[in-house]
Amino acid sequence: MANNPGRPIPSHKVMSFRTPSEVDDWLFSNPMTCPGALHFSVRNATVITYGIQTNSTSVEKRGHYEDPTFTFQIPLQIAAEREIARSLIGDPNFSWVVNLKEFAHPAVASFSAVATVGPTFFLAIAMFGFVFQISSLITEKELKLRQAMTMMGLYDTAYWFSWLMWEGMITLISSLLTVLFGMMFQFDFFLHNSFGVVFLFFFLFQLNMIGVAFMLSAFISKSSSSTTVGFSIFIISFLTQIITLFGFPYSTNFSRTYRAIWSVFPPNLLAEGLTLLSGATETPQDPGISWSRRGKCAPNDTECVITINDIYIWLISTFLVWFVLAIYFDNVIPNSSGVRKSVLYFLNPGYWTGKGGNKVAEGGICSCTRSIPPPEDVTPDDEDVYEEENTMKQAASEGVVDANIAVQIRGLVKTYPSKTKIGCCKCDKTSHYHALKGLWVNLAKDQLFCLLGPNGAGKTTAISCLTGITPVTAGDALIYGYSVRSSIGMSNIRRIIGVCPQFDILWDALSGQEHLHLFASIKGLPPASIKSVVQKSLAEVRLIEAAKIRAGSYSGGMKRRLSVAIALIGDPKLTTGMDPITRRHVWDIIEDAKKGRAIILTTHSMEEADILSDRIGIMAKGRLRCIGTSIRLKSKFGTGFVANISFSGATNGTPVSGGDEIVANHEPVKQFFKNHLNVVPKEENKAFLTYVIPHDREGLLMNFFAELQDREREFGIADIQLGLTTLEEVFLNIAKRAELESAAADGSLATLTLTSGTSVQIPVGARFVGIPGTESAENRKGVMVEVYWEQDDSGALCISGHSPETPVPPHVQLTASSSAPSRRRGRPGAMLGIVIDPNQIGTDY
């Protein structure tokens, strides 16, 4: 928009002229600033609008004011106008009236507004929708809803077309409302141009912006960024629209190439389309653009380098380009699981035929994973794991599969490729990581297999491989005979698998019933059965009453129950679930769900694992460390029985006092345990002693506890509790072993501060540690402590305490290898503890 400098002229003032030259003179000396004329300098500096009036007739016309000759041209389209003109020219008494009031006529004002403010206004509306679309798409990715739907069998084509249909419908309604409101407010722009022409123009423009939003969503991973992206595009569009309104490049002064390049960006086409449509309804007498004339030069468009039909063609073709690019980038840019297709995936015929075309890769678009060495092949330490592996290998080589086996995980290897992170000043490259190092497990039908392990053990990765979220690096997994490595196998698997991930796969705006309906449809259940299946599922998870309430207002437990129902909908033969909330009713649902299907559950709750599982596998550092029933694991990996002795504070009825405080004297009890079971307390304080009694003393326990009970009064014992070690302990032992292994491999150390104040560096997970420099004539091998470890919130092992310092037993060999290797990086100056093999210590501890 241009502002002509000069004296402002009030819009209502009427000025009369006797001759055309008077008009010329006036115009020459009074550059106009009234709003009705402003648009002319934008579009074409030589065009003005004026009204003409005679004594008997008034007519408002658009004329050409040609610089520098100052001649008016009055288009004379109808006989009456020609008559007026003739009479004007022939009648010496006529008066030319440049009626400035007419410049401010609503028609002229609306023209001016549409041509100048219009692009920004419509752009702002389109941008609002644009930001909303991008953020909805990204939120769906961010909340992993899309991943969940894919796991449940949603095809990419269905995903994209459902989005397109939805957005197309919204666009259709909003375009319709725009035109109807424009007509309601009596704008000539909407009244004189054909309804179809204006509606199609707005519809195609907004559809095009949807294409742009789809494409950009592939590059954005956080919904919060979508507002920034939308605002940036708005600013850029605003600037390019101003340039367009100044005539670039839609005039004969510019080549076609400029126009082609400029037309790729939809807001520019919006600006040019609005100019054409506005120009065609500049004055109330202008006819506008009719549907049949959409391919012809617009009225009042003197240059005619582009028609409204050309704009339609541009909008449709660029929309198709954006849409295809959106699908392409969606495939080749790594998704939330780091998975992508190859850059030229569409050249693979399998992609089009559906046979093997779903091959996916990982890492950035340019990363290369071929040179990654496979993980080391290690023979399992545990005989049950070894046996499982051998049985499976044998069955695989013979091609015999037990009919009761639902899932065969055959040497599954998953290596995450290295990543390069580009920061503002530097590039960080992480090395590749073997998350699964050859997993062999058979999962039986009608059973729940619980996969346990500390953080980073590889549980999620294993589930992701089974559900097809992440590609397998080596090995395979057969689910009811279908391989996860084949795209056909995977599409069959998706039909028979149900997944309940760690996160709730829910849309806040949908009710529980709608969720189940949606997932039942994705799973391909017959439409006629969906209603009854949904009702049954809702009843199973006790959500009948909340069926029609939006999931956003559900409590955490209700959400989890709905997620479980989604995982179980359509009676999948295999269900994988992670961390269901430890609630009785969820357990009941899971317990019931075992019938007729295999369930893999990964959880951090040992209680849950103990109660629900038929078999448990504990993983650590990408390998299976033990496998079996809960009882078997406890008896094999638990330290034995735990005895808790609590004291009443009196021995033989007489308190042992030391000052005001009662000082516990547990020596007789400790001696009793030492003499009969050869064990020392694991923990002790004034009120109780805790012993861990190894399994090999089991035969002695009956008589031992009978005698202890008889002597309760003598020892001042208030209560004796005996129990089997917990699964938690088994888990910790396995985790410790794995940590120790990896600490040995990578040299990670922890600082142990002894009660004496001495600090030593010890490998993470080390149980018995000799303290260097404590050798004496009395203790030739020095003293040692047992280190107690616990897991912090992130699952990492940290020191929780240590036993009293005791002499290193004489039989223990302190070999060179048992001392901390010199290559380990410890705190400078800190002493390195001597790791002692627990097997040398025996069961005394």
Within 13 Å of residue 303, how many CA atoms lie on the same side as its CB? 18
Pick one of 455, 774, 819, 843: the residue that binds ligand ATP (CB under 6 A).
455
The residue range among 49-57, 452-460, 510-518, 724-732 that interacts with ligand ATP, by the rule CB under 6 A, is 452-460
Residues with Cβ < 8 Å from 354, sequence gap 6 or more? Answer: 487, 488, 491
The residue range among 396-404, 455-463, 517-525, 796-804 that interacts with ligand ATP, by the rule CB under 6 A, is 455-463
* The two structure tokens encoding residue 762: 């010890």
What are the DSSP calls for 24-93, one per residue?
HHHHHHS----GGGHHHHHH-TTEEEEEEE-SS-EEEEEEEEETTTTEEE----SHHHHHHHHHHHH-TT
Question: Tokens 């078999």 identify what position?
Answer: 615
N- to C-terminal Cα separation, the chain: 89
Residue 456 as a binder of ligand ATP (CB under 6 A): the answer is yes
Please state the closest distance from residue 471 (CB atom) to ligand ATP, in A: 11
Q: Are 762 and 835 in contact (CB under 8 A)?
A: yes
The residue range among 29-37, 182-190, 459-467, 610-618 that interacts with ligand ATP, by the rule CB under 6 A, is 459-467
By beta-carbon proximity to ligand ATP, the closer residue of 438 and 453 is 453
Please state the closest distance from residue 581 (CB atom) to ligand ATP, in A: 16
Round to whole Å and give the CA distance between 117 and 123.
10
Please state the closest distance from residue 195 (CB atom) to ligand ATP, in A: 53
Pick one of 39, 340, 459, 597: the residue that binds ligand ATP (CB under 6 A).
459
Round to whole Å and give the CA distance between 119 and 136.
25
By beta-carbon proximity to ligand ATP, the closer residue of 580 and 770 is 580
By beta-carbon proximity to ligand ATP, the closer residue of 245 and 477 is 477
Q: Which residues in the 310-339 window bind ligand ATP by CB under 6 A?
A: 338
What are the DSSP calls for 549-581, one per residue?
SBGGGS-HHHHHHHHHHHHHTT--SEEEEE---
Q: In the 8-state DSSP scheme, what is residue 697?
A: G
Name beta bridge partners: 334: none
Residue 461 as a binder of ligand ATP (CB under 6 A): the answer is yes
Round to whole Å and give the CA distance between 697 and 842.
13
By beta-carbon proximity to ligand ATP, the closer residue of 188 and 610 is 610
Round to whole Å and give the CA distance between 761 and 751.
5
- Cis status, amide bond into 68, omega within 30 of 0: yes
Q: Are 308 and 320 in contact (CB under 8 A)?
A: no
By beta-carbon proximity to ligand ATP, the closer residue of 380 and 453 is 453
The residue range among 450-458, 505-513, 696-704, 715-723 that interacts with ligand ATP, by the rule CB under 6 A, is 450-458
Please state the closest distance from residue 363 (CB atom) to ligand ATP, in A: 9
By beta-carbon proximity to ligand ATP, the closer residue of 607 and 707 is 607
Please state the closest distance from residue 690 (CB atom) to ligand ATP, in A: 29
Number of residues that bind ligand ATP (CB under 6 A): 12
By beta-carbon proximity to ligand ATP, the closer residue of 642 and 740 is 740
Other C-beta atoms closer than 10 Å to the C-beta of 522 total: 22
Other C-beta atoms closer than 10 Å to the C-beta of 678 total: 14
By beta-carbon proximity to ligand ATP, the closer residue of 182 and 458 is 458
* The two structure tokens encoding residue 370: 């071929």
Residue 457 as a binder of ligand ATP (CB under 6 A): the answer is yes
Round to whole Å and give the CA distance between 354 and 812.
64
Pick one of 281, 460, 511, 537: the residue that binds ligand ATP (CB under 6 A).
460
Please state the closest distance from residue 694 (CB atom) to ligand ATP, in A: 30
Pick one of 438, 453, 580, 826: the residue that binds ligand ATP (CB under 6 A).
453
Query: Cα dihedral angle (603, 608, 611, 614), rounded to 10 degrees?
Result: -10
**H or E stretch including 411?**
strand 405-416
Residue 357 as a binder of ligand ATP (CB under 6 A): the answer is no
Name beta bridge partners: 644: 690, 721
Name beta bridge partners: 715: none
The amino acid present at 163, given as its one-letter code, is W
Please state the closest distance from residue 677 (CB atom) to ligand ATP, in A: 37
The residue range among 76-84, 102-110, 449-457, 677-685 that interacts with ligand ATP, by the rule CB under 6 A, is 449-457
Pick one of 195, 248, 433, 503: the residue that binds ligand ATP (CB under 6 A).
433
Residue 418 as a binder of ligand ATP (CB under 6 A): the answer is no
Q: Are 569 and 516 in contact (CB under 8 A)?
A: yes
Residue 503 as a binder of ligand ATP (CB under 6 A): the answer is no
By beta-carbon proximity to ligand ATP, the closer residue of 617 and 628 is 617
Residue 501 as a binder of ligand ATP (CB under 6 A): the answer is no
Give residues in contact with ligand ATP (CB under 6 A): 338, 416, 433, 435, 453, 455-461
